[in-house]
Amino acid sequence: MPTSLIDADSLLAIDVGGVNTRAMLFDVVDGRYRFMAMGSAPTTANAPYHDISEGVRAALDRLQTVAGRTLVGPDERLIVPSTVDGTGVDSIVATLSAGPPLQVVALGLLEDVSLESACRLATTTYARVVDRISLNDHRKPEARLDSILRLRPNLILAAGGTEGGASQSVIRLLEAVGLACYLLPENQRPELLFTGNQALQDEIKATLGKITPLRFAPNLRPSLEVEQLEAAQSYLAGIFRTVRGHQIPGVDELNTWAGNGLLPTATAFGRVIRYLRELSKEADPNRGVFGIDVGASATTVAASFSGEVNLGVYPYLGLGENLAEFLEHARVEEVIRWLPMVATESQLREYICTKALYPASIPVTAEDLAFEQALARQAMRVAVRNISSSFPSRIRHYGEELLPGFEPIVASGSVLTRAPSLAQSLLMLLDGVQPTGITTVWLDQNHLMPALGAAAAVNPLLAVQVIDSSTFLNLGTVITPVSNVRPGTPVLRLNMTAENGAETALEVRQGSLEMLPLPFGQSARLQVTPLHGADVGMGRPGRGGGVRVIGGALGLVVDARGRPLRLSNDPERRAEAFKKWLWTFGA
């Protein structure tokens, strides 16, 4: 597309993570938007700086050096817009995940309806629900009051009452909230987001509007049968900006640079997954796009189907400071099973404590690397189980334990992108996500997902063209038959015809991991024949067919190790299995 036909503004994207701060530059090359360069520096939200501005400026300095372009003027201000000599940028977007999870008290009428919806809304950003209040709460009003005063939450997330439904019950639940906010020092009063019966807005404003910051979002449960979270997520993002601005110096300045559009990194991540689904040529509304980001602040998962996005943010599964609470949500043995060597519980706990104290540290021994990758695998397993429970029932072909078919699966996070080999990256994803059917696995090597999600709001064409420019690394097409037959039983027969006419045939047995060589970027025609009732996601067990596949960095991979994947209880056998699987990928 000619430059004259598009909005050719350059764009700077800044992402402040729990460990790293990245500054990324996008501009037009040969009439299309491209990712130009990136500068990275340690995040300075914690000691000794306690101000993210230092890390942002260091990242900008490195970006200027790499790109050979001046972005910051002599007065230490960004040059906006760009000048005729090419200095500066035209627009800025920013995302943020640094900082402790928001402390949230969720309030709703019914535990399994409005209260559950309020808790699910909280999981779409960096938050932790520290208390739940409902009509079935057996505590006395003064006990609820004491809980709020003791916890001093950042946010009260209140839901309840369908449209035109309950009113006085909701007001009574809010009475303890109002009194608690009144008793708290003014600078410690929580934000209150009301997402219930909209007919109560005037009454709530009259009783609480002068006591604590108050916002209203569309009803999470307009009826008992309908749950709508997405409309309220933008209000939640605004509260996240406000709270972070109070907690961390430099956030307000970054928000100003971004035109008051600073986004939680997870929100931007979910937006890209939605974009990928909209750009997909996949006609099946039950087959979506899946993304996972294993970060220092949280593990984030997003799944987009036809017009639907499910987003889950789990701070307790982050591999940084929050790692100290990891074992509260995963058993020790669940982590140890992913280790390719013998290790004790005390060794694992020692590694977790050290990593939580020094989240920016990188593995320096094979044992440290194994612990980090084992934790990443288990973080993905827990996150996948959590998000699967929120999928529409029509999507859950294999229950909540396994993912349905997705195309593609996109992965991000330093533990994946900085692994010593791409084979280790893919094996972590196959073990942690455990895809089913036929899918392509992409790796966001340059951590562009948050930038593209934020950019989509101000320059949608940029996001589309950068995604279309193969900015993500295709690790390979993965075929995963789902079968319950005994190990060693044939479950799949493959016949691949390459572009040059060369043919390859392979019979796959249950329990094996195979790789077919297919050069990167080359396409082939694949005939898939399931055996013994195996399911490869083509409509029903036993059904096969022909598909076009494209070679990735690791060719074409067939994972017939079983779903869910079950590992040996013998550490030595597990170690041998891991070595064999890596050897299959040539690592």
Condensed to tens digits (0 to 9), the pLDDT of residues 161-186 reads 777 776 788 888 888 888 999 999 99
Domain boundary among 247, 281, 301: 247
233 Cβ neighbours under 8 A, 6+ residues apart: 121, 124, 125, 267, 311
Q: What is the pLDDT of residue 7?
A: 47
β-bridge pairing 545-550 and 11-16: unpaired
User: For residue 425, is it within any domain?
Assistant: yes
Q: What is the pLDDT of residues 255-277, one digit of tens each?
A: 999 999 999 999 999 999 998 88
Q: Work out the average pLDDT over 86-93.
A: 92
124 and 215 both lie in a single domain: yes
pLDDT the model gives residue 214? 92
pLDDT digits (tens, 9 = 90+) for 524-539: 999 999 999 999 988 8
Do 117 and 198 lie in one domain? The reply is yes
pLDDT given at position 340: 87
Banded pLDDT at 500 (limits 50, 70, 90):
confident
User: What distance in Å separates the CA atoms of residue 354 and residue 351, rounded to the nearest whole number?
Assistant: 5
Tell me the average pLDDT of the chain. 90
Q: Point out the domain boundary residue: 96, 116, 137.
A: 96
Q: Is residue 254 part of a domain?
A: no
Of the spans 201-205, 285-289, 375-379, 504-508, which averages the highest pLDDT?
A: 375-379
Chain segment 275-332, per-residue pLDDT in tens: 888 877 666 667 889 999 999 999 999 999 877 789 999 999 999 988 989 999 999 9
Kindly report, residue by residue over 135-164, the tens digit of the pLDDT.
Answer: 888 888 888 899 999 999 999 999 987 777
Report whether pLDDT(396) > 70. Answer: no
Q: What are the phi and psi torsion angles at 87 (to 5°)? A: -80, 155
pLDDT of residue 539: 81
Q: Which long-range contacts (CB under 8 A, 24 or more apart) does 77-80 make?
A: 78/12, 78/257
Residues 114, 21 within the same domain: no
Mean pLDDT of 362-368: 92
Q: Helix or strand or coil: residue 78? A: strand
Q: Does 108 or 251 have the greater pLDDT score? A: 251
In a domain, 252, yes or no: no
pLDDT for the residue 1: 33
Q: Are residues 452 and 331 in the same domain?
A: yes
47, 110: one domain: no
For the cut 90, the answer to whether the pLDDT of residue 369 exceeds it is yes
Is there a domain that residue 22 lies in?
Answer: yes
Q: What pLDDT was estimated at residue 388?
A: 87
Choose the final residue of a domain: 221, 247, 273. Answer: 247
What does the alpha-carbon distance between residue 40 and residue 386 come to, in Å, rounded to a whole number?
Answer: 32
Average pLDDT over residues 208-229: 88
The whole-number pLDDT of residue 82 equals: 87
Counting the structural domains of the chain, the total is 3
- On whether both 338 and 410 belong to a single domain, the answer is yes
Q: Which string of b and e fits 317-331 if b means at least 16 CB within 10 Å?
A: bbbbbbbeebbeebe
Do residues 491 and 531 touch, judged by C-beta distance below 8 A? yes
Note the pLDDT tens digit of each residue in 537-582.
Answer: 888 889 999 999 999 999 999 999 999 898 888 888 888 898 899 8
Token readout for 207 is 């009783």
CATH code: domain of residue 151: 3.40.50.280
Residues 92 and 106 in one domain: no
Instruction: Look at residue 106 in the predicted model and tell me its pLDDT.
Output: 94
In this predicted structure, the answer to whether residue 468 has a pLDDT above a threshold of 80 is yes
In sequence order, the 6+-apart residues with CB closer than 8 A to the CB of 316 are 128, 322, 325, 326, 328, 329
User: Does residue 420 share a domain with residue 296?
Assistant: yes
- In the chain, the amino acid numbered 239 is I
Strands 20-29 and 32-42, bridge-based pairing? antiparallel
- Structure confidence by residue, pLDDT tens digits, 2-36: 333 344 689 999 999 999 999 999 999 888 999 99
Asked whether residue 259 is assigned to any structural domain, the reply reads no
Residues 9 and 142 in one domain: no
3-state secondary structure of 558: strand
Q: What pLDDT does 105 receive? A: 95
d(C-alpha 377, C-alpha 292), whole Å: 12
Mean pLDDT confidence for 53-81: 93
In a domain, 483, yes or no: yes
Assess whether 379 and 514 both reside in one domain: yes
Q: Are residues 429 and 546 in the same domain?
A: yes
More confident of the two residues 499 and 353 = 353
56 in a domain, yes or no? yes
What is the predicted pLDDT for the residue at 5? Answer: 36
109 and 91 in one domain?
no
Percent of the chain with pLDDT over 90: 62
- Assess if residue 255 is contained within a domain: no
Which pLDDT belongs to residue 6?
41
For 285, the domain range is 265-584
